[in-house]
Amino acid sequence: MSHGAETYKEIKTNFKNTVDIMYSYVFVAVILGIIGITIAVPALLPEPGENEVSTYDFPFVNRYQWGARPAKEKTLLQTPVPYVVIHHSYKPAACYDTVQCKKAMQSMQNFHMDDRRWWDIGYNFAVGSDGTVYEGRGWTVLGAHALHFNTVSLGICLIGDWTTALPPNQQIKTAKALIDVGVDLGYIKPNYKLVGHRQVRDTECPGDTLYNNIKSWQHYVPFPATYRDLLHVKELPQEIKNKLILGNSTHIEA
């Protein structure tokens, strides 16, 4: 009896150990499966970028890829717009590779959202000296790049200080190509007008050297010459002109 009881206890113990080992294997397998799914699923899912299309013939980095914070709010932009406004960032300085330009985009967004209390980065798009387009608010969201002029324009920023230096040729070429795509996609009017930021706002943007350069771009117009001419811009809604007369801001962000 004693030997039989001992044998039974041994069998029971061995069985319990076997079950415990099986549970351990199952647990490890489940954990590894979860880890595998966690790693694999993001790789399989398309990266969000509503402004990214297959017809771009230049490098394009969407918001997800440069690590954009979510916008606090959004207001739709009525397209196609009649104007394109060219900016420079002044600060941050020019960026010459994707790593630098992603940091520049994050820096601008943080400044616009945290210091200026805007809903998002102000520009619709930015272009780096690496010849890459970086998605800001995109084609269909109202920007906060040109006070009183946001509702009738898309804002494109050439990252860098272009006061005394000219952006690299590839940066200028990509900015022009981006505008052409906007026309092709129906977000910019075919007969659009191109202006520098200083023509619609009391500012030195987009820098003297870049501003002199855009005068040779297609569709550049010298009017408005300064923000004082905005009352005479026919495309500007009357309600904005009324606020201009009263000296009121036309948008919570700007």
Distances (CA, A) of 144 to 20, 26, 32, 83, 108: 62, 54, 46, 14, 12
| Distance from C-alpha of 16 to C-alpha of 11, rounded to nearest angstrom | 9
Higher pLDDT, 109 or 19: 109
Weakest-pLDDT range from 67-76, 98-107, 226-235: 226-235
Distances (CA, A) of 219 to 65, 155, 235, 249: 32, 15, 16, 28
Q: How many CB atoms lie within 10 A of CB 174?
A: 27
Q: Which helix (H) or strand (E) holds 61?
A: strand 60-61
Q: What is the mean pLDDT of residues 13-19?
A: 50
> Helix or strand or coil: residue 106?
helix
Q: What is the mean pLDDT of residues 189-212?
A: 98
Q: How many CB atoms lie within 10 A of CB 72?
A: 11
What is the amino acid identity at position 155? G
Place of tokens 């300085």: 93
pLDDT tier at 176 (50, 70, 90 boundaries)? very high
Q: Which helix (H) or strand (E) holds 85?
A: strand 81-88
pLDDT at 28 over 50: no
Q: Measured on CA atoms in the order 186, 190, 193, 196, is the torsion positive or negative?
A: positive
SS3 sequence, 132-149? CEEECCCCCECCCCCCCC
Nearest to 198 by CA among 64, 107, 92, 90: 90
Assigned superfamily of 60-246: Peptidoglycan recognition protein-like (3.40.80.10)
Q: What is the pLDDT of residues 75-97, one digit of tens each?
A: 999 999 999 999 999 999 999 99
| Distance from C-alpha of 51 to C-alpha of 138, rounded to nearest angstrom | 6
pLDDT at 221 over 50: yes
Please give the share of the chain, as a percent, with pLDDT higher than 70.
76
Place of tokens 């998002």: 120
pLDDT tier at 51 (50, 70, 90 boundaries)? low
pLDDT at 17: 53
Nearest to 126 by CA among 163, 84, 155: 155
Higher pLDDT, 49 or 80: 80
Question: How far from chain centre, in Å, is Cα 76?
Answer: 15
> Helix or strand or coil: residue 1?
coil
Query: What is the value of pTM for the model shown?
Result: 0.79
| Distance from C-alpha of 36 to C-alpha of 133, rounded to nearest angstrom | 33
